[in-house]
Amino acid sequence: MDINNWHLNAEHGLPSDKQIHLLQCFPFCIGSEKMLAAYFDQPGGPENLYVKEVPKPHPGKGEVLIKVSASALNRADLLQRRGKYPSPKGASDILGLEAAGLVAGFGPGCKGQWKTGDTVMTLLSGGGQAEYVTVPEGHLMLIPNYMTFVQAAAIPEAWLTAFQLLHFVGEVQSGQTVLIHAGASGVGTAAIQLTRLAKAIPIVTAGTQEKLQLAAKLGAAAGFNYKEEDFRERVLEFTNGSGVDVILDCIGGSYWEKNLNCLSTDGQWIVYGLLGGGEVHGDLLARLLSKRGSLLTSLLRSREKEYKEKLVKAFTERVLPYFSQDRSPHVQPIIDSVYPLHRIVEAHRTMEENKNLGKVIIEMPPSS
C-alpha cells in the first residue's frame, strides 16, 4: 500500500483558503458567546458522546484564543470518556489534547509574538474538540505554509510525546536501538521517524501485517506481529542477543516480562501508557537490577506550563523544519481518517477498536 494513502489530499483545503474564509467570519464568531463541542454527560462508551452548545472560553493572562479547524483523538480522550483519566486541575473538561486553527484573540499580558489570523497548531491539556480553545501563547507552533489544518492537527500531542520520550526522558543516542510498541499509532509513527532523525535504529511491534508495512515505510528496521510471534525472541535475534537500549512502552503490565528480556544491560524502559494494565506479578525489581536497567515513567498532559513551553521550543527548533518537503530527511504526520465533529462517536469507535493506522482527526463545522 502506498504511504500516500495515509495522507490528506487537497480536498481538505490549504490553511490559506480557510484563513480567508474564517477571517471573514471573525466578527460573527468573536461576538458569539457560545460554541459547539464534543460532550458527554456520564462516563461510558462512545455512544455517550454528542455535540453540545457550550460557553465559549475567554483567554486569561498570557493566553491566546484559537478558532479551531481540526483536532485529533488520543488514547487519553478514550480514557477520559470512560471516567478513568480526568483532566488536570484548571484544564478544560472538554476532550482534545491538540488542535490546529487560527489565532482569534488575546488575553492580557501576551508578548506580541502572534497576531490575529496566524495559522497555528498547539498542545493542550484539554478542550481541543470544540470550535474554540484557549492556550498559553508559549504552547503554540506556526503551521508550515504548505500544510493543511488537518495535517497539522496530527502533530502536537503525538509528536511532542514521542520527542519528549526520546530526548527529554530517554536521551537517545546515535546508534542505539529503540523498541517502539504500537508502532502504527500516532506516537508510534512519530517515534519511528524521530528515532531515525536521531540516527538511532527503530524496531516496532504491531498487531497486523498492514501496520508493520506502514512502520517499515516510515523507517522501522524490523517489525514483529505480537499476535503471531514472540517479539522478545525476535528482538534478541535482531540485536544478536544484546537487547535494545531503549523501550517506548504504552502497554505496561502485560509486557513487563518480555520487555525485561528484550532490555540490554544499562538499558532504559520508558512507560508512558498502561493499555495492558498496571499490575505486575513477578520478580520485576530483581530482574531489572540484574541488568542495571532504568525504569522510567512519563506523562505529558499533567506537566507544568513552563515544561511544555521548553518542549515546544525545542521541538520547533530541532524537528519542525524537517516537515518541509524539501528537507532530507523528511518527516510527516500519518493520518488514518477524518471525521466531522458530528461523527465523533464513529471516530472514537475507530480508535477503540484499534483500527487506525496513524491519527484520527476531528474537523470542526464550517463557520456560519
Q: Any idea how long the chain is?
A: 368
Q: Where are the alpha helices (DSSP H) in the chain?
A: 15-31, 75-81, 149-153, 156-163, 186-197, 209-218, 231-238, 256-262, 284-290, 305-318, 344-352
Instruction: Give tens-digit pLDDT for 64-79.
Output: 999 999 999 998 999 9
**Nearest CA-CA partner of 134 in 160, 163, 96:** 96
- Look up the CATH number of domain 159-297: 3.40.50.720
Q: What is the mean pLDDT of residues 125-152?
A: 95
Please say if the pLDDT value at position 25 is more than 60.
no
Q: 34-156+302-363 belongs to which homologous superfamily?
A: Medium-chain alcohol dehydrogenases, catalytic domain (3.90.180.10)
pLDDT mean across residues, the chain? 88
Q: What is the mean pLDDT of residues 168-173?
A: 95
Residues sharing a CB contact under 8 Å with residue 36, sequence separation 6 or more, in sequence order: 51, 52, 53, 54, 130, 131, 341, 364, 365
281-286: list long-range contacts, CB under 8 Å, 24+ apart.
282/256, 282/257, 284/256, 284/260
At 135 the pLDDT is 96
List residues bridging with 40 in a β-sheet: 49
First to last CA, the chain: 39
Residue 367's pLDDT band, with cuts at 50, 70 and 90, is: low
Q: What is the mean pLDDT of residues 267-293?
A: 85
Please say if the pLDDT value at position 173 is more than 90.
yes
**Nearest CA-CA partner of 349 in 77, 89, 155:** 77
- With b for 16 or more beta-carbon neighbours within 10 A and e for fewer, the 262-290 pattern comes to bbbeebbbbbbbbbeeeeeeeeeeeebee
The answer to whether the 34-156+302-363 and 159-297 domains have the same CATH topology is: no
3-state secondary structure of 38: strand
Residues sharing a CB contact under 8 Å with residue 351, sequence separation 6 or more, in sequence order: 73, 75, 78, 360
List the chain domain ranges: 34-156+302-363, 159-297
pTM (predicted TM-score): 0.87
Please say if the pLDDT value at position 8 is more than 60.
no
Please say if the pLDDT value at position 153 is more than 50.
yes
**Nearest CA-CA partner of 278 in 4, 78, 84:** 84
Q: Which cell goes with 105?
A: 484573540
